[in-house]
């Protein structure tokens, strides 16, 4: 059984993420620029959004009525659950750092904005796609905190679609920023820091 303190901690972290992340999403939309989301291809476009929504439904359901998901539970000690809470908080802090670093460059697709510039500060110093890394870390951490295999499995499926989308996205970035982005690709790892 999940301790109530773990549940409340996860809810509090999630509310902060939704509020701050929502703020950055709204700010990025203020230009009114329309983006062609079909450039990433329909299967990836629909797959990421559908799997992402399904994962969020699982998370909300688990936090609201954990007893309904006993079929996907794993025996988990309180220490492991709290380790998951800490990991989730770190993943959310990483994602919020990414939102702040991207600023108005933020999009939900592979196409860049007209006034976009190449971001290489914040978490982008360490990885080229910190959002995708953060989503994977959050899903794995939630699995520990909630004591389930379901959220990490769903998060890994979403991450797999992100990996497929990244190839398309990076082609657009090379087209937009040229050698500047090619040099960045040589120096910085795609999802995980390069070990020199």
Domain ranges of the chain: 4-24+37-187
Distance CA 180, CA 6 (A): 44
Band of pLDDT at residue 195, cut at 50, 70 and 90: confident
Instruction: Report pLDDT for 66.
Output: 85
Q: What is the CATH number of domain 4-24+37-187?
A: 1.20.120.1630
- Please spell the DSSP secondary structure of 5-46, one letter per residue: HHHHHHHHHHHHHHHHHHHHHHHHHTT-----GGGG-HHHHH
Instruction: Report pLDDT for 2.
Output: 82
101-158 per-position pLDDT tens digit: 999 999 999 999 999 999 999 999 999 999 999 999 999 999 999 999 999 999 999 9
160 or 30, higher pLDDT: 160
- Is the pLDDT at 196 greater than 80? The verdict is no
Give CA separation, 66 vs 124, 130, 161, in Å. 36, 30, 27
pTM: 0.94
Instruction: Report pLDDT for 83.
Output: 98
State both tokens at 158: 């979403």
State both tokens at 115: 């006034």
Distance CA 96, CA 158 (A): 19
State both tokens at 57: 């439904």
Least Cα distance to 107 among 56, 35, 178 occurs for: 35
Helix/strand/coil for 127? strand
Q: What is the mean pLDDT of the chain?
A: 95
Give CA separation, 70 vs 53, 59, 77, 142, in Å. 21, 13, 16, 15
42-61 per-position pLDDT tens digit: 999 999 999 999 999 999 99
Band of pLDDT at residue 21, cut at 50, 70 and 90: very high
Instruction: Report pLDDT for 67.
Output: 86
- Is the pLDDT at 165 greater than 90? The verdict is yes
Task: Find tokens 């090619």 and name the residue.
Answer: 182
Report the half-sphere exposure of 154 (CA within 13 A, side-chain side): 21
CB atoms inside a 10 Å sphere around CB 98: 23
Arithmetic mean of pLDDT, 67-75: 92
Distance CA 8, CA 16 (A): 12
Band of pLDDT at residue 164, cut at 50, 70 and 90: very high
Distance CA 181, CA 78 (A): 44
């Amino acid at each position: 059984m999940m301790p109530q303190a773990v549940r409340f901690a996860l809810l509090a972290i999630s509310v902060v993420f939704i509020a701050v992340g929502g703020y950055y999403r709204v700010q990025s939309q203020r230009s009114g620029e329309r983006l062609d989301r079909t450039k990433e291809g329909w299967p990836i476009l629909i797959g990421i959004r559908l799997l992402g929504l399904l994962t969020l439904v699982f998370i909300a359901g688990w936090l609201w009525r954990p007893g309904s998901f006993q079929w996907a539970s794993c025996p988990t000690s309180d220490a492991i659950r709290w380790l998951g809470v800490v990991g989730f908080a770190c993943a959310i802090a990483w994602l919020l750092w990414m939102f702040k670093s991207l600023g108005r460059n933020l999009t939900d697709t592979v196409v860049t904005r007209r006034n976009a510039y190449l971001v290489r500060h914040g978490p982008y110093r360490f990885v080229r796609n910190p959002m995708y890394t953060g989503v994977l870390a959050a899903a794995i951490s939630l699995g520990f905190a909630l004591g389930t295999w379901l959220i990490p499995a769903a998060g890994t499926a979403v991450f797999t679609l992100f990996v497929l989308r990244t190839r398309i996205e990076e082609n657009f970035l090379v087209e937009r920023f040229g050698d500047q982005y090619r040099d960045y690709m040589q120096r910085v790892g795609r999802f995980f820091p390069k070990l020199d």
